[in-house]
Amino acid sequence: MSVVELARPVETPRATPKGPRRRVTAWHRWLSPLALLVIWQIASATGLLPERLLAAPATIASTAVELTQAGTLPTAIGVSLQRVLIGFLVGGAAGILLALAAGLSRAGENAVDPIMQALRALPFFGLIPLFILWFGIGEEPKILLVALAVSFPLYLNTFSGIRGVDGKLAEVAKTLKLSRGQLIRHIVLPGALPQTLVGLRQALGVAWLALIVAEQVNATTGLGYMINDAREFLRTDVIVVGLLVYSALGLATDAIVRLLERRALAWRRGFLA
């Protein structure tokens, strides 16, 4: 009997409509995280997991509400967002401009690329002591650390994007008698864009990482300060809220880039579909 069933595999699985099956699968994916939350809550409630190590999920949720109502959390988020934004803009502009300089001419490549490759090898978190000596403990070292972290992925990706533009299209540009400016505007830059967007996503990831590290150093405002301050008072609930906000902000900025990608790379969709 079983041999006959195996011989007719088409009838069984395909009979189930796709939609409901998918929804069931999606629902299944929530089960294990939920179970983990429940176990965590029970462990906290029974004293198995002491609050000075990790607060209970329910406590964390109510702390998040309290911090929001008191204005502490929104202010901290505002300060941290501002640091990331300014650092990102400064570093992004620097990375892309350097990539254009290096990508569009051999002389530019010889001038810029060796320096960038050498600097890239530096562990940039190791620069914090120097940054503190140079810029003190105010906003500048934090913003600059973010800027530095952001500039490398954007530089590297944009540079390789420019160099990776199809030489056959450059020939077309020549036969269509495009000027150098037109070649850059119509062929080189749009051709490099997909790779630049990859760099943008990497840059945003590393921007938040740099911010977290920078905010551990002598911050008096921002999410990092809120977390450090909470450590002094063993407030593990506040620490977890801070971490969750970091990851939510990271996911949100990533979603923005993905939206940007979908708009800017619409020409690829037909090819991906």
Partner 1 sequence: MATRLSGVARAFGDRVVLDSLDLELRDGEFTALLGRSGSGKSTLLRALAGLDDEVTGAIDVTDSVAVAFQEPRLVPWKRLLANITLGLDAPADKAKAALAEVGLAERSDAWPLTLSGGEAQRASLARALVREPELLLLDEPFSALDALTRITIHQLVLELWARHRPAVLLVTHDVDEALLLADRVLVLDEGRIAHDISITAERPRHREDPALVTLRNTLLAALGVSPEGRS
Spacing of C-alpha 254 from chain mean position: 5
State in angstroms the smallest separation of the CB of 190 from partner 1: 4
Return the range that interacts with partner 1 (CB under 8 A); candidates 5-13, 124-132, 168-176, 200-208.
Answer: 168-176
Please, are residues 157 and 201 in contact by the beta-carbon 8 Å criterion? no
Residue that has been written with the tokens 């880039």 in this structure: 257
Cα 151–Cα 201–Cα 113 angle in degrees, nearest 5: 30
For partner 1, which residue of 64, 67, 154, 187 counts as binding (CB under 8 A)? 187
Binding range to partner 1, per CB under 8 A, among 27-35, 131-139, 152-160, 174-182: 174-182
Site for partner 1 in 4-63 (CB under 8 A): none
Is 191 a binding residue for partner 1 by CB under 8 A? The answer is yes
Cα–Cα distance, 84 to 252 (Å, whole number): 13
Q: Which of 57, 108, 190, 205 binds partner 1 (CB under 8 A)?
A: 190
Instruction: Out of 21, 22, 23, 174, point to the residue binding partner 1 (CB under 8 A).
Output: 174
Residue 106 interacts with partner 1 (CB under 8 A): yes or no: no
| Residue 186 within binding range of partner 1, rule CB under 8 A | yes
- Distance, CA of 22 to CA of 34 (rounded, Å): 19
Helix-strand-coil split of the chain, %, nearest 5: 85, 0, 15
Residue in the structure block whose two tokens are 């001038």:
111
Rounded CA separation 137/131 (Å) = 9
CB 32, CB 15: distance < 8 Å: no
- Kindly tell me which of 27 and 271 has the beta carbon lying closer to partner 1: 271
The site map against partner 1 for 229-268 (x = CB under 8 A) is: -------------------------------------xxx
Q: Kindly list the residues in this chain that would bind partner 1 in the complex (CB under 8 A).
A: 168-169, 171-178, 182, 186-187, 190-191, 193, 266-271
